[in-house]
Each structure stands twice: as structure tokens, then as C-alpha cells.
Amino acid sequence: MSTDNAYLTVAGLGVDVVYKDIKNMHIAVYPPVGRVRVAAPQRTTEDAIRLAVVQRLAWIRRRREQLQNAERQTERKMVSGETHYVWGQRYLLDVSKSSGAYGVEATGNTLWVITPPGTDASGRFGALDRWYRRELKAAVPAVLEKWQPILGVEAAKFVVRRMKTKWGTCVTTSRTIWLNPELAKKDPRGLEYIVVHELMHLLERGHGEKFVALMDRFLPDWRARRDELNEAPLGHEEWGEYEQP
């Protein structure tokens, strides 16, 4: 069976299109963040695909909302024994150590969150969240230094900011890249994909054929990286205030 791939933007939604040797078109919305995928018969026109997506837009948006509400990680209670991730590696949380200052250490397979005596779960989460942000801020410059010369573009700055449904975004008017601190929990391949994706918007604002062609040229495995990144949901919202871009 032969297949081909494309990427469309319909009513503000990114849509993955896979052409197959099938008779009927199928539209699906995948967890965790509601990725929209259309399986279409060979030779289906772009206009026909766009029309089919628009006709099912209400259902797609309802389904995306259901997934984004349901597919959050289990609430983190910030107690010893919980599983947490750092750069794609699994750690067991240990909050048994106390000190006069806040600190976080990843040693062996243990993630130590060290806080002053009497600190509650919210305070422990705050210490860990600040640490994740520092980890991400420390990792991004090297990725930018690698890719900006390759792409021939330069971001004015990057900002670490929580977002409900996005790993990153690019504000092209100010040439600013926003990155979700949750990226510090994922494999570094994901961070590199997101940085390249957002830098690419300084060359091409939309997600049309030109954007896809650029991604295919510079980061041929970007689809695999995207899917790896989206295998797990964004973190539980209990402790943080997520802001929309």
C-alpha cells in the first residue's frame, strides 16, 4: 500500500494528511493534545480535505477539548516515591531531606527536592518547577547556537512560559520564542524539534507546504520527534498557572 504525507492548516488547526489506497476519507483526533489526522484516498484534492475538516470542525474541537481535559498526568502530590521525569529519564522523588535553602538534585535514579522544614506540597512543587525552568533555560542557548546559523535566522530572545496545549510558540513580530517548561521533562530530541519548529516560523509563518518542505529539508525526522514528544500529556495543572499565548 502506497502512502504520502502532507500538512494543512484549516481554521487555525494543524492537520496531518496521509494519502492511502483507501476508498473513504477518515478524520481522527489523537491524544494527548488533540492532533488532527486525515486519512484520504489517493488523488483527493486539498479543497476536498479542507471542506471535510470544516464540516466536522465542531466535533473536532469538542474532541480536542475532551482530550486536553482528560489526558493530564495524575496529580502530583510531591511525596517521596512518586515518579518524575528529567530530560526523558525516570526518577523517584525523595523529599526526606531538609535544609535552610531550597534545592533540587538528580542523582542516580533519585530526584531529591530539598526544602526548609515544614514546607508543604505546594512549596516543594514550586522548588521543583523553578529548577525545571533553570534546566530548560540552561539547555536552550546551545540548541539556538547550533540551529540559527543553519537556518539563517536569529531569535531576539526566548522565554520560558507555561502553556496549556503547546510545547512552544513563536511571536514573529518580536522574534520571540516561548517554550513550555515541561520540555525539561522530555527527551532532548523534543526540545531540539520545538526550537527548530519555532525558528522556522521566522522563515515561514504558517504551517503550509513551504513550512513542511523546510522542516523536511532541515530536520527530516521531525514527525517522529513530534510524535515522541506527544506520547505523554502535558503536566498536571494543579500547581501551576498555565497561560495562553
CATH number of domain containing 127 = 3.30.2010.10
- 88 and 60 in one domain? no
Q: How many domains does the chain have?
A: 2
- 98 and 43 in one domain? no
- 38 and 144 in one domain? no
24-50 as b/e: b if 16+ CB within 10 A? ebebebebbbbbbebbbeeebeeeebb
Distances (CA, A) of 19 to 41, 121, 210: 6, 49, 19
Ramachandran angles phi, psi of 150, nearest 5°: -65, -45
- 88 and 65 in one domain? no
Residue 209 lies in a domain: yes
- Report the chain's mean pLDDT, rounded to a whole number: 87
Residue 244 lies in a domain: no
- 91 and 15 in one domain? no
- 179 and 123 in one domain? yes
pLDDT exceeding 70 applies to what percent of the chain? 87
**What pLDDT is recorded for position 66?**
79
Which range marks the domain in which residue 35 is found? 4-70
**What pLDDT is recorded for position 74?**
56
CB within 8 Å of 120: residues ≥ 6 apart: none
For residue 193, which amino acid is it? Y
Residue 71 has pLDDT above 50, yes or no: no
**What pLDDT is recorded for position 73?**
53
Its pTM stands at 0.71
- 216 and 108 in one domain? yes
- 187 and 98 in one domain? yes
- 193 and 88 in one domain? yes
Q: State pLDDT tens for residues 172-220.
A: 999 999 999 999 999 999 999 999 999 999 999 887 788 989 999 999 9
Band (pLDDT 50/70/90 cuts) for residue 50 is very high
Residue 245 lies in a domain: no
